[in-house]
Structure 1
Amino acid sequence: MFKEIVVVKAILLIFILSLPSLAFADCNMAFRYGLLIAPDHIRFMQNTRTFVQINNDRQLFVAGEWVHLTDDDTELLQQYSQGLRKFVPEIVSLAVDGVEVGLSSIESMLSGLGSKSQQAEWQALIRETTFQFMSRFVRTGEYFYLAPQSLNELDHFLNRELKPQLSNLARHTVGAVWGALRDALRQSDSNFERTDNQGLESVEQLVDNISFGLDEKAIELEAKSALFCQRMRELDEIETSLQQRVPLLSQYDVVTEKN
């Protein structure tokens, strides 16, 4: 069982090492608060605390207090809210889809292998391995959450923090994994060569499938990186106008440009 878990870890490492770069090197736009987009409201959050809430794109609550808005204020709030509704789910979905490409391939490979308890352990391992990434993005039905971060920080997290750490682990474990797997097969399968080759081919096909899907997402993200940055600048301008009309919002600057 230990050897099987190590194999799953190696596959997950290979998958996460293939995560695409978001290519936001020239964009310093950031979300200072976490954003929760729901069908009937939007929340600006830190940890689990809500500081600003917009209901149905028309009602504004700041620090739990309802804010009276003029018709012009409401029109500007709608523009701001609808801009967030278009942008946040799109970037969350692109990130989550990239992860799900790998997870679906991994789960397909593991399907039917092992006992129910082993399957449960593998599923727990998948959740644990991807937790750090997924804590920045959540998509559940019509609900989307984007954690506080800049577009640059997201790129840095994926390519300068996560990848090197996992790359070091992979270099030290992948060779040992296949050595352990071959030893296990020699002890348990009289037709070792056939089973060993089939196992290696399955993993190679898995990596090919993951790489192909993630490459498609990388191209899509690369094409949209400038557009995303421009959208955030436009949202920042709307937010500034709204803050001038509703001074209470000034202390909750959600969209900002980092120096």
Structure 2
Amino acid sequence: MKSVSHFLLCIMCLLPAGFSAPAAAHYSCDVDLNYGVVVNDDQLRVLKEYLTLYQINHKQQLFVAGEWLTLDDSQAMLVTDYAKGLHSVVPQVTLLATTGIDLATDTVQQMFLSLLGSDHDSYEKLNTAMDKMKTRVRKKFRYARSHYYLGPSSSEGLDELAEADLMVPLSQTLTTSVGSILTTLGAMDSDKLAVDRTEMAVINQRIAHYAATSDGDGPPVDTTLPQKARWYCDYFKKLDALEKQMQTTIPQLAGIDLIRQTSHKD
């Protein structure tokens, strides 16, 4: 009997573009977060674990280490544009990530069933791995009582599961950072993505609602999920450029880098 890892590597090669390493090479979102960020209607906070590094109230009042800073007009405009962008994109990406991980794990499970069947002795281990992945995504991309949260990138994996043969190909493919989620969705083949019209309409309505209520931006309504993922990645890059301007003009922010551009090889 061939090893479980062999079959899972076959699954990765057969999945829609974005789940296998060769296919993912065609698109990569090189954006991640160094810290957590939480937004509600009136406030934005950048968090290192439970410590607030800085917060922006009403998209204009900047507090760094608890101190309210007096800003000149150009600084205030940068802070407002940056806060407006994060207030808009954080809820939208939260929705996209939690929707996307369900599509990704369902696809892996369906491919496993088509290759090996539900009687294979690793099927329950696979289901356990998929459930853990969904749980981790919902911890890193979450909504509670009008607060939306995106967690920082980390090296977390599925190492605590004992079946190493099972974990290696999955942990290289399904990770929970912002960049990895957007890479996975952005590289998918929309023709093979099983999202019915009703479900897609609901997703579009919710994303449009988040953009409208935050007075911010959002992807065109008629775009596919992969196109939306690419739009969000590009938008994070624009916010990164704003952040760099803030760090240059506001000395108290110089050492606090929320958004980073990196390289994804998975």
Compute the TM-score of the two structures, normalised by the length of structure 1. Answer: 0.54
* Equivalent residues of 2:35, 2:48 under 8 A apart: yes
Greater helix proportion: 1
1:240 lines up with 2:244 in the alignment: yes
Instruction: Please tell me the residue identity of whatever aligns with 2:69.
Output: V
* Equivalent residues of 1:243, 1:250 under 8 A apart: yes
* Equivalent in 67, 70, 73 of residue 71 of structure 1: 73
- Matched with 1:196 is none
How far does residue 98 in structure 1 lie from its aligned partner after superposition?
A: 4.6
- Matched with 2:50 is 48
Q: Give the 3-state SS of the residue equivalent to 1:61 in structure 2.
A: strand
* Equivalent residues of 1:89, 1:144 under 8 A apart: yes
Structure showing greater relative contact order (alpha-carbon pairs closer than 8 Å, 6 or more residues apart): 1
Counterpart CA distance in 2 for 1:135 and 1:166 is 24
- Matched with 2:178 is none
How far does residue 62 in structure 1 lie from its aligned partner after superposition?
A: 0.9
- Matched with 1:109 is none
Larger radius of gyration: 1
Counterpart CA distance in 2 for 1:127 and 1:140 is 20
How far does residue 76 in structure 1 lie from its aligned partner after superposition?
A: 1.2
Instruction: Please tell me the residue identity of whatever aligns with 2:258.
Output: V
- Matched with 2:232 is 228
How far does residue 132 in structure 1 lie from its aligned partner after superposition?
A: 2.1
Q: Give the 3-state SS of the residue equivalent to 1:256 in structure 2.
A: strand
Identify unmatched segments of 5+ residues in structure 2: 1-14, 105-129, 168-192, 204-222
1:39 lines up with 2:57 in the alignment: no
Counterpart CA distance in 2 for 1:93 and 1:138 is 8
Identify unmatched segments of 5+ residues in structure 1: 1-17, 103-125, 170-210
- Where do residues 185-204 of structure 1 align in structure 2 (5 Å cutoff)? none
- Identity score, percent: 26
- Where do residues 1-259 of structure 1 align in structure 2 (5 Å cutoff)? 25-98=27-100, 130-149=134-153, 168=166, 212-213=194-195, 220-258=224-262
Change (3 A) 1:251 1:132: same
Counterpart CA distance in 1 for 2:72 and 2:227 is 39
Q: Give the 3-state SS of the residue equivalent to 1:251 in structure 2.
A: coil
CA deviation map 1:128-154 (0-9, x unaligned): 78432211111124210000128xx8x
Counterpart CA distance in 2 for 1:224 and 1:161 is 31
Q: Give the 3-state SS of the residue equivalent to 1:138 in structure 2.
A: strand
**Paired residues, number:** 170
Compute the TM-score of the two structures, normalised by the length of structure 2. Answer: 0.53
CA deviation map 1:202-227 (0-9, x unaligned): xxxxxxxxx9449968x943122321
Change (3 A) 1:127 1:226: closer
